[in-house]
Amino acid sequence: MKEDRSEMAAKDVELDPRSAAISEPLSSSSSSPAAFNAVVSAGNKSRSCKSSLPVTQPPCPGHVLENVLENVLQFLTCRRDRNAVSLVCRSWYRVEAQTRFEVFIGNCYSLSPSRLTRRFKGVRSLLLKGKPRFADFNLMPPDWGAQFAPWVAATAMAYPWLEKVNLKRMFVTDDDLALLAESFPGFKELILRCCEGFGTSGIALFANKCRQLKVLDLIESEVTDDEVDWISCFPEGETHLESLSFECVESPINFKALEGLVLRSPFLKKLRTSRFVSLEELHRLMVQASQLTSLGTGSFSPNDVPQGEQEPDYASAFRASKSIVCLSGFRELTPEYLPAISPVCANLTSLNLSYANISPDILKPIIRNCHNIRVFWALDSICDEGLQAVAATCKELRELRVFPSDPLEDSESPVSALGLQAISEGCRKLESILYFCQRMTNGAVIAMSENCPQLTVFRLCIMGRYRPDHVTGKPMDDGFGAIVKNCKKLTRLAVSGLLTDEAFSIIGEHGKLIRTLSVAFAGDSDMALRYILEGCPKLQKLEIRDCPFGDVGLRSGMHRYHNMRFVWMSYCRLTRGGCRDIAHALPSVVAEVFGSDVDDDDDNADYVETLYMYRSLDGARKDAPKFVTIL
């Protein structure tokens, strides 16, 4: 811990913990609070909060001051502010550590659990992220790591009042869930996103033991079917449940038990069922729980062939659900039933149709009423025509995601530049877009950059690799260049299509706020990587695959790797020697090298298939599997 108070206090009020980390040399025995702040707050989403606390040289810290500080600090929730506060002096550091209840860890390997528990004493809420995003695309071998076990063990001892755990891309076992449930009597919220390693038996145990549970959200996780009726395992009597989400659980559900659970959960606001809930069953649930605000509709397909008047009136169930603002599910949609949702369309702020193969004709009558939609996810089956309909009505749209219904390189994509152009003209408030298509034009991308200046997230995936502008034949440099030049708030960018080094020169120069950059099958040479690393001052997460970038390019970022959350490069031109040089030069950075072939033992010389590099306060991890080499 820093002794020199005066040096700290003299620092700028708007203290950026990461820049502070540069100036302080790191050693493994004592890691500076600034460095700790950096790993614990990297990925801070609350960018816009301003520090309202005047930071001046405090007088001699006394008990009185600390008490006052404690009372003041409880109003300070923004991570960035808290980090700034903690760097003022020792006493402030101590008080801040005692009063921080919410901890965010963007990379579970950036520090050890014991370091967390040593500093913070009263954690109530923990958000932990494990594997990097490219693991979702089978680019990482299984059993790589990101186990939750050590964390639950450490926190079980240190934080008896832990209430919330939010995990993303972690490996969680049934035992972990059991320990979680047993260790924290007041546990309230469990959110597992893109996790794996557990099954329905773990969920059952957890549900049974946590009597105060408010939130159980299983999102896009892989849940083994242990053939346990977990829904029946919730305790008897009234529950505190406010949110129950199990859309990703691929096993049949005991509907009677689910219905019973919903009936005795008066506080339930969000219910997201899996595809094993039929339309008839959904109807019954809706009738019992008309207070829902967010509904995951399950399969949205009737079990049996309807028999005339015996068919439930689905529209009236929706009419009765006056509070619904968010709809998802539609996992096995029978399209003729979709109009049943019409009564809630005008109130909807979020609609996720991305698991339903919907044609423009089915979409149009629905979307026509969705004036208030802010978030819309769909499959490209809605075609450009569907997107035009969205553009015509959804003037409040902030986030759009268009997924491919046929995720192949050479398929006929029903969406194109036309759809993108239409959206840009109709939805001027757009902030975030993810768009899959087969080919694109610079014109449409430029149009979006000009029409939607509020964009913070622009992810365009031209599925055909190396595809140029299909009208002009030129690379997509101009399009992406316009995005970074015109969208001044851009923090996340994913590029695709044919791109030369020039594109990256523009990105490096103009992408001043970019924190996450994803690059695949692009660039001509190391220069492209250099442009990125020598530019983009706020870059935190860099994911690259299949680009002609080698050791020279990698070296050009030496000055900044300790200031980034991670760098991922797979199928590029790195050599072990090159990566090793970097690793040895930067002690605070861990460089992992691995390939996706578990059984391969012939040492294919120098070649590096995947490099995953991240900063860490506690050095190399001890749980690396044998196919991972830590340089």
Task: Determine, following the binding rule CB under 8 A, whether residue 141 of this chain makes contact with other proteins.
Answer: yes
Task: Determine, following the binding rule CB under 8 A, whether residue 12 of this chain makes contact with other proteins.
Answer: no
| Helical (H) or strand (E) element with 116 | helix 113-119
Cβ–Cβ < 8 Å for 338, 361: no
The CA–CA distances, whole Å, from 447 to 52, 159, 304, 349, 491 equal: 39, 51, 48, 26, 19
Q: Which of residues 34-93 bind other proteins (CB under 8 A)?
A: none
Cβ–Cβ < 8 Å for 457, 432: yes
Residue 314 burial by CB count (10 A; 0-12/13-18/19+): exposed, middle or buried?
buried
| Residue 128, strand partner residues | 105, 167
Residue 214 token pair? 């408010």
**Binding pattern for the stretch 284-323 against other proteins, x by CB under 8 A and - elsewhere:** ----------------------------------------
CA torsion sign, 23 to 27 to 28 to 32? Answer: negative
Q: Which of residues 174-233 bind other proteins (CB under 8 A)?
A: 194, 220-222
Cβ–Cβ < 8 Å for 404, 379: yes
Task: Determine, following the binding rule CB under 8 A, whether residue 404 of this chain makes contact with other proteins.
Answer: yes
**Rounded-to-integer distance, Cα 346 and Cα 337, Å:** 18
- Work out the number of other CB atoms within 10 angstroms of the CB of residue 247: 23
| Interacting span for other proteins (CB under 8 A) from 17-25, 42-50, 75-83, 468-476 | 468-476
**Binding pattern for the stretch 587-606 against other proteins, x by CB under 8 A and - elsewhere:** --------xxx--x-x-xxx
Task: Determine, following the binding rule CB under 8 A, whether residue 629 of this chain makes contact with other proteins.
Answer: no
Task: Determine, following the binding rule CB under 8 A, whether residue 547 of this chain makes contact with other proteins.
Answer: yes
**Rounded-to-integer distance, Cα 505 and Cα 43, Å:** 25
Count residues contacting other proteins (CB under 8 A)?
63
Task: Determine, following the binding rule CB under 8 A, whether residue 520 of this chain makes contact with other proteins.
Answer: yes
**Binding pattern for the stretch 351-380 against other proteins, x by CB under 8 A and - elsewhere:** ---xx-x-----------------------
Cβ–Cβ < 8 Å for 574, 550: yes
Task: Determine, following the binding rule CB under 8 A, whether residue 14 of this chain makes contact with other proteins.
Answer: no
CB of 332 to other proteins, least distance (A): 6
| Interacting span for other proteins (CB under 8 A) from 92-100, 176-184, 309-317, 571-579 | 571-579
Nearest CA to 52 out of 33, 36, 72, 32 is that of 72
Task: Determine, following the binding rule CB under 8 A, whether residue 545 of this chain makes contact with other proteins.
Answer: yes
DSSP state of 99: H
Task: Determine, following the binding rule CB under 8 A, whether residue 530 of this chain makes contact with other proteins.
Answer: no
Q: Which residues contact 528 (CB under 8 A, 6 or more apart)?
A: 499, 500, 501, 503, 504, 505, 522, 547, 549, 553
Which one of residues 339, 548, 587, 619 is an interface residue with other proteins (CB under 8 A)? 548
The residue among 234 and 330 lying less far from other proteins, judged by its C-beta, is 330
Q: What is the contact surface with other proteins in residues (CB under 8 A)?
A: 134, 136-139, 141-142, 194, 220-222, 248, 250, 275, 331-332, 354-355, 357, 403-409, 436, 461, 463, 465-468, 473-475, 498, 500, 518, 520-521, 523-525, 545-548, 550, 571-573, 575, 595-597, 600, 602, 604-607, 609
